[in-house]
Amino acid sequence: MIFYAQECNFCDREDTYYCMKIKLPLLFLACLMAFSPALMAQGKISGKVFDRKSGQAVEYATIAILNPNDSSLVTGSVTEAKGSFSVKVPYGNYLLRVSFMGYTTYYHPSTLAVTAKQPAINVGKISISPSAVMMDEVVVTAERTMVEYQLDKRVVNVDKNLVAGGGTATDVLENVPSVSVDNDGNVTLRGSTNVKVLINGRPYELMGNDLETLLEQIPASSVETVEVITNPSAKYDPEGMSGIINIKLKEKTSGALGLNGVVSINGGTPLPFIIPDAMPKFIPTSMGSINLNYTTEKYNLFLSADGGVRSRSSFGHSNIERLRADTAWSHDTLDRYGIFRHYMGSVKVGGEYYFNNKSSLLVSYQLRGGQRERLNTINSLDLLNDGYLNYDQNDTNINRSINHSFNLSFIKKFDEKDRELTVDATYSTRHMTGTGWQEQLYQGEAIWDNYYLRETETENFHKTFNFKANYAHPFAENWKLETGIESNLDWPNQKAEYFRTEYDTAHTLYKFRDDQSCTHFDYTQQTHAAYATVGGHLTQKLSAQAGLRVEYSYLLGYDLDHPGSDSVYKSYWQPYPTLHLSYQIDSFQSVQLSYSRRVQRPRMRTLNPYMEIREGQELSFGNPNLDPEFTHAFELSHSIGFHNWNIYTCAYFRQTNNKMTRYGFVWDSVNSKYYSWWMPYNDEYYGYWASTWQNLNREYNFGLELIVDWQILKWWKLNASVNLYKSTIEGTELLGNQDKSAFQASGKFTSFMVLPKDWTIQFSGQYNAPWLDLQTTMFASFWFDMAVKKDVLHKRGSVNLRIGDIFATGGWGHETHTEQLNRLMQMRRLSPTVTLGFTYKINNGLRQRQRSNDYDDGSDGDY
């Protein structure tokens, strides 16, 4: 059962900002509410909860304070990292109940009287016993539930997720309810790609990599939890229409002195049922990692390293028909297959010094590097011109990157509970170079009449700096004021040069620079912000949190390679209010209502007007006139826990103004005039399918989400989720002045079973129903994964066998029908894949670091 505590707890360290112009009104309002007549004489009940058998502290146990007359709930809390709890209560008599899944419920043997003479009662050490079940020598003890529901977020505990074993953070996200990752590495939340991804509370850009690369570089064994925040408070960055995904990595332990660590290694390969003759039969994947820390009473030193190669492959078929006046002027079929390899490695070192029990300073450095190789082979057949445009195409891209990241974090806690100051600064650099070749050989009598080679050389140097300071101050009864400031500075510099190699009239190969397509884009973006949130109890059952964040954003970009081209300049102030309400119906269920205003800013790649040529006669370019889009998001959710069930239901609505969307069209002299910022019409690319970004009017999104946790038996639990989602875009001239509507449905489930002799089996599946976006209909997709784990070496080690896409059903595809284009694309990945891994714990292994930061301080976020 998930219990929502009544005590105000606003210790999440997420970054948000505060408008100085309304600081005094907000503070006045908070003080007025805090010192209202609802305030009465208060005492507190405290203690610690331990496992009777192991003697270890029990975290997240539910503390319920009950009325002795009718056993109704008065207030409550949950235990912290060391098993401690402290609950404020008005003077009176109370019963104390402690419960935790998998343990026998504990009732304090006597009534607790909180009076003016005895305002504080410490019940001391409470020991609870696991409700173990013996079945053919199976002993099951308590485990944390897969999903924990809190006021403004859901916390998904993925450290026990076997199907992600041997994989990367991408595999972890694929098993998180409401989250999906497509085959291009794009992360979606509730069907929307407009989501902000954080790593340990920091924007992934500060890690010095693009998101797809970074997720592939993080081993799944390094991920502790994933926080899904669908309607964030003002403490968070407002970017991301559908919300925030915060991936929390395992770090050091603060509980066990001496040396601790975890070592893991795994390897695997696809064992496909179907494989094209031209593709390799063996595409290996392997990962290894080591995490160590050495802790004393005064300091902690930590070292982590990981590396390996991640390989994927796919094959498929496309059918493309281009039209003029409803008549086809070209009709091609393309057979293709691709191989993707990512070599990666990273080292992180650092230390934390404890000045005392209240203050500490952490310094760390991380070096991350990698090389991505992508090979695509295409065989094209022209169905209209008797082989005139038949060609074979090979696309090869190699990108190398090296990243440095420096972090400095300071935390100061005060004697007053929940009062603290944190300061965090991060500086990162990334240097990436890339080389690509796109070679086409057309069928014909002479190679010099039918040969095409396009080479690309890219260089990207990206610097980022992030500074944030956060101060939390509790006041009155269960109220807290939290303020903070943050600055994000980005300096990406992207250079891309294109070269063509052709035969001249003398049948001699010559190479020339394509000046029109080359670009050297220099870009600067700054965001400065301040925020304030205030929250607490309005009544014993009703809690509220209100916040306001104000940001100033500035960006400037220009193409150094084309001095006469238009530059990109945008500057604006924007407020982002938030409101969260929570009503505790009883000890089993609660209702939450929330609102937030959010933003999605254009990225450098969406603003940069340079041209990118893709396989299959496609090109894309950015739009320097693109503006941000703003969203009003509302959510109404209900959670209930009873017996072995937890059910979470959420209805949500989003209105997005100035909607940014990707739009495709056939490149010709008529359509190109609408995109004069790019370049004058070039007949060389006549008939190519072009895509760019546009601002539309408004988009409306309606959704319903259902998540069920079911402890079927003591040794078997199930988590299932369903998301239904509908979007409508208002008609514009671009859409023929007609509204566009789309419906999407998706579902996931995970079955986890503990068997005799330390065996564990996990089975999971996903389904995405067909859905329609602006111009394209996506096909349905579904697949199933299975994993088996066996503990060995007295549970210090474990062996993990994973089979991904076990029935080889994984695939994707779409079809597009416009006045200019009919296109069908179907792809499959090589599957199933088999991965075998081994993990060994040094001493007690690693536990999540129990120090506060600007996004998470170990609290649950409940009131």
| Cα 568 from Cα 552, distance rounded (Å) | 17
Q: Is residue 38 predicted with pLDDT exceeding 50?
A: no
Q: Is residue 107 predicted with pLDDT exceeding 80?
A: yes
Task: Give the residue-averaged pLDDT of 587-604.
Answer: 87
Q: Is residue 25 predicted with pLDDT exceeding 70?
A: no
pLDDT of residue 328: 77
Residues forming a β-bridge with 397: 374, 436
The share of the chain scoring above pLDDT 90, in percent, equals 18
Among 240, 163, 220, residue whose Cα is nearest residue 832:
163
- Would you state the structure tokens that stand for residue 790, as one six-digit string? 């066996």
Range picked from 274-283, 509-518, 784-793 for highest mean pLDDT: 784-793
Q: Is residue 4 predicted with pLDDT exceeding 80?
A: no
pLDDT band at 117 (very low <50, low <70, confident <90, very high): confident
pLDDT tens digits, one per residue of 635-666: 999 988 777 788 889 999 999 998 888 887 77
Range picked from 167-176, 386-395, 579-588, 617-626 for highest mean pLDDT: 579-588
Among 331, 327, 328, residue whose Cα is nearest residue 319:
331
pLDDT of residue 150: 64
pLDDT tens digits, one per residue of 812-862: 898 988 877 888 999 888 888 888 988 887 775 544 343 433 333 333 333
Q: What is the pTM of this model?
A: 0.70
Q: Is residue 677 predicted with pLDDT exceeding 70?
A: no
pLDDT of residue 230: 80
Q: Is residue 694 predicted with pLDDT exceeding 70?
A: yes
| Cα 417 from Cα 270, distance rounded (Å) | 53
- Tell me the three-class secondary structure of 291-350, residue by residue: EEEEECCCEEEEEEEEEEEEEEEEEEEEEEEEEECCEEEEEEEEEEEEEEEEEEEEEEEE
| Cα 541 from Cα 863, distance rounded (Å) | 10
How many residues are present in the chain? 863
pLDDT tens digits, one per residue of 343-399: 989 999 999 999 988 899 999 999 999 999 988 888 888 787 765 567 788 888 999
Alpha carbon distances (Å) from 386 to 131, 318, 330, 448: 75, 19, 11, 20
pLDDT of residue 361: 94
The sign of the CA dihedral 828, 830, 832, 836 is negative
Q: Is residue 516 predicted with pLDDT exceeding 90?
A: no
Amino acid at 338: G
Task: Give the residue-averaged pLDDT of 83-100.
Answer: 87
Task: Give the residue-averaged pLDDT of 95-106.
Answer: 82
- Give the helix/strand (H/E) hosting 29: helix 23-34
Of residues 471 and 81, the one with the higher pLDDT is 471
Task: Give the residue-averaged pLDDT of 692-714.
Answer: 87
pLDDT of residue 392: 82
* Angle ∠(783,316,378) on CA atoms, nearest 5: 150
pLDDT of residue 133: 38
pLDDT tens digits, one per residue of 304-352: 898 999 888 888 888 888 777 777 777 888 888 888 888 989 999 999 9
Amino acid at 54: S
Of residues 556 and 7, the one with the higher pLDDT is 556
pLDDT band at 532 (very low <50, low <70, confident <90, very high): very high
pLDDT of residue 681: 59
Alpha carbon distances (Å) from 15 to 25, 235, 422, 778: 22, 5, 11, 36
pLDDT band at 422 (very low <50, low <70, confident <90, very high): very high
Among 482, 349, 354, 489, residue whose Cα is nearest residue 421:
482
- How much is the mean pLDDT over the chain? 79
| Cα 283 from Cα 10, distance rounded (Å) | 48
| Cα 166 from Cα 311, distance rounded (Å) | 12
Q: Is residue 576 predicted with pLDDT exceeding 90?
A: yes
Contacts of 766 (CB under 8 A, 6+ apart): 174, 180, 746, 747, 748, 781, 782, 783
Task: Give the residue-averaged pLDDT of 740-746.
Answer: 83
Phi/psi of residue 208, each to 5°?
Answer: 80, 30
pLDDT tens digits, one per residue of 186-216: 677 776 666 778 877 766 655 545 676 667 6
pLDDT of residue 245: 84
Q: How many CB atoms lie within 10 A of CB 565?
A: 18
